[in-house]
């Protein structure tokens, strides 16, 4: 439930010192000595590679550039004053156009600099940056570079530390980010090296760092020649307090959680069962040259063997198919409302689960609620695409403030996909762990308990509530549900089968990468029927 994840607390960046797990943080005393432009005796600027033994100043020079008259930010040569007394004004020559591909790489560097070094949200930065690129292929490239870097930022940082005798300073955040983007193009994106190098080097001009083009060229050529140094996936960018929790709570799965969270997830589709059968749609994919795999459950799910642009999916604009992870699709199975039931999706944005429920049952009476009115518009847009807009009641309100939105009529089924740490979807939102703070977890558990207690009043006697999160932390999942059951005498937990993952007695937990799905928790809670009424199921 990434969209429901609260924003990071505070600026979150490495300002003022090292932040645990934040790449790029430096000792300010070292930075003062490591500034790339620091003057050398004799007036030269030089970067020397470490030798194979890692000693600075030995071995082959990676980059060495004598100062040139034109070396200054922006790369433009110094000019005489234009239009001086008694002289006609001289028109400034227009800079030559950038090489194709340079602008997306410069934009990726700026986005990464904001996320890695200034604590900004990747989603927010991309939302601002991508519309500046008219070509969808360039937008896709920016996203690919940013995600590839943020899934393993310490790997790229380690490579630069191994190859450069002095770390880049804090002022060189955009250059460091550009280098990370360059390394990610070579591995794991595997872009053609000649294009990746030329465009990334050219991007230094767009960043006003043309004078450092040689440094970028030399480092990327070394990466092309030698490959990136091997790193231990356990030394991930997850903060130490979070790694400690995972190691304690999932000792047998700790390494797999970190490793699976560092790789790109597969592309999952949900076929609209109201419009087309899964096998029929799979045949349409095959005709379009898109290979897919159909798992046993959920029955509408297809996993593509290779990710493709959404625009190439047959019938996407007409609502035949949506993008949704396998684990998120299982929520509809866990809820399984009766035909024509009155259902509440309490934290509905971005709306995939609401649409899934409607695809299964056209007679469903669905209310989609979200605290964010703007995100609720995204829900509306998805429902319009699928032809469900007139079948859903959309409400913008705090779900826990019942007086603000509830008409007092109980729901047969309630879905609470609760705000959480999003630790199960780090591969999809890799900046989550960069910004997450230890104090966030108690705050989130308080919010989750508040939502559970309030929404329980809206469940009809004999009705069901499904509590779900995209977290893999026990505090937000089984511990949360156990505490709720202890203080709610008319609630009981119902068993879920093995398709929902590891049995936690009061729910089931899927971990990242299992069956190629995200990390997700599910608990199904039944409210006691009125006295004398038969218990369902």
Catalytic residue ranges? 470
Assign 390 to helix, strand or coil: helix
Q: Find residue 468's DSSP bridge partners.
A: 417, 522
The neighbour count for residue 505, using CB atoms within 10 Å, is 11
Q: Any idea which residue has 């009155």 for tokens?
A: 342
Residue 150's nearest CA partner among 419, 437, 435 is 435
Assign 463 to helix, strand or coil: strand
Q: Any idea which residue has 């410069």 for tokens?
A: 106
Computed on alpha carbons and rounded to an integer, the radius of gyration of the chain in Å comes to: 27
Residue 167's nearest CA partner among 50, 7, 305 is 50
Can you read off the two tokens belonging to residue 302? 């297809």
Please report the beta strands in 272-419, taking only residues with DSSP state E, as ranges in sequence order. 292-293, 301-304, 321-323, 342-345, 365-370, 392-396, 411-417
CA distance 337 to 413: 6
Query: CB-based burial of residue 49 (10 Å sphere; 0-12 exposed, 13-18 middle, 19+ buried)?
Result: buried
Residue 511's nearest CA partner among 124, 325, 264, 253 is 253
CA distance 483 to 504: 14
CA distance 515 to 408: 41
Question: Which is it for strands 459-469 and 365-370: parallel, antiparallel or unpaired?
Answer: unpaired
CA distance 306 to 266: 7
Query: CB-based burial of residue 263 (10 Å sphere; 0-12 exposed, 13-18 middle, 19+ buried)?
Result: middle
On whether the CB atoms of residues 47 and 36 are closer than 8 A, the answer is yes
Angle between helices 352-360 and 373-385 (to 10 degrees): 40
Query: CB-based burial of residue 231 (10 Å sphere; 0-12 exposed, 13-18 middle, 19+ buried)?
Result: middle
Can you read off the two tokens belonging to residue 296? 């046993």
């Amino acid at each position: 439930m990434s969209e429901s994840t609260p924003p990071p607390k505070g600026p979150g960046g490495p300002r003022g010192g090292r932040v645990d797990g934040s790449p790029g943080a430096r000792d300010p005393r070292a930075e003062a000595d490591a500034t790339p432009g620091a003057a050398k005796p004799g007036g030269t600027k030089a970067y020397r590679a470490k030798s194979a033994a890692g000693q600075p100043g030995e071995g082959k020079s990676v980059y060495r550039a004598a100062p040139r008259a034109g070396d200054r930010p922006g790369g433009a040569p110094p000019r005489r004053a234009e239009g001086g007394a008694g002289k006609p004004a001289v028109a400034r020559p227009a800079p030559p156009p950038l090489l194709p591909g340079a602008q997306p790489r410069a934009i990726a560097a700026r986005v990464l600099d904001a996320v890695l070094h200034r604590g900004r949200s990747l989603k927010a930065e991309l939302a601002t940056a991508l519309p500046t690129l008219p070509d969808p292929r360039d937008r896709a490239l920016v996203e690919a570079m940013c995600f590839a870097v943020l899934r393993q930022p310490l790997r790229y940082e380690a490579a630069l530390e191994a190859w450069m005798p002095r770390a880049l300073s804090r002022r060189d955040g955009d250059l460091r980010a550009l280098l990370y983007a360059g390394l990610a193009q070579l591995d794991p994106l595997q872009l053609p090296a000649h294009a990746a190098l030329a465009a990334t080097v050219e991007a230094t001009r767009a960043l006003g760092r043309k004078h450092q083009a040689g440094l970028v060229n030399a480092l990327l050529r070394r990466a092309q020649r030698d490959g990136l140094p091997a790193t231990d996936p356990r030394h991930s960018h997850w903060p130490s307090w979070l790694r400690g929790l995972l190691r304690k709570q999932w000792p047998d799965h700790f390494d797999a959680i970190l490793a699976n969270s560092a790789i790109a997830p597969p592309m999952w589709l949900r076929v609209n069962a109201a419009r087309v059968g899964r096998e029929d749609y799979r045949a349409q994919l095959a005709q379009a040259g898109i290979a897919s795999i159909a798992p046993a459950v959920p029955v509408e799910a297809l996993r593509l063997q290779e990710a493709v642009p959404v625009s190439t999916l047959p019938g996407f604009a007409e609502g035949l198919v949506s993008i949704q992870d396998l684990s998120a699709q299982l929520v509809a199975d866990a809820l399984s409302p009766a035909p024509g039931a009155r259902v509440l999706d309490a934290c509905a944005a971005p709306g995939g689960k609401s649409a899934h429920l409607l695809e299964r049952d056209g007679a469903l009476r669905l209310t989609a609620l979200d605290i964010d009115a703007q995100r609720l518009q995204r829900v509306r847009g998805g429902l319009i695409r699928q032809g469900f807009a007139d079948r859903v009641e959309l409400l913008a309100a705090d779900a826990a403030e019942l007086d603000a939105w509830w008409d007092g009529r109980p729901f047969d089924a309630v879905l609470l996909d609760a705000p959480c740490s999003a630790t199960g979807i780090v591969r999809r939102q890799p900046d989550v762990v960069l910004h997450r703070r230890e104090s966030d977890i108690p705050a989130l558990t308080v919010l989750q308990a508040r939502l559970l207690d309030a929404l329980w009043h809206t469940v009809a006697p004999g009705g069901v509530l499904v509590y779900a999160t995209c977290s893999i932390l026990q505090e937000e999942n089984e511990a949360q549900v156990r505490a709720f059951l202890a203080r709610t005498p008319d609630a009981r937990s119902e068993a879920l089968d093995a398709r929902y993952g590891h049995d936690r007695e009061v729910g089931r937990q899927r971990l990242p990468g299992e069956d190629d799905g995200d990390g997700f928790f599910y608990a199904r809670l039944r409210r006691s029927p009125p006295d004398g009424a038969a218990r369902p199921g």
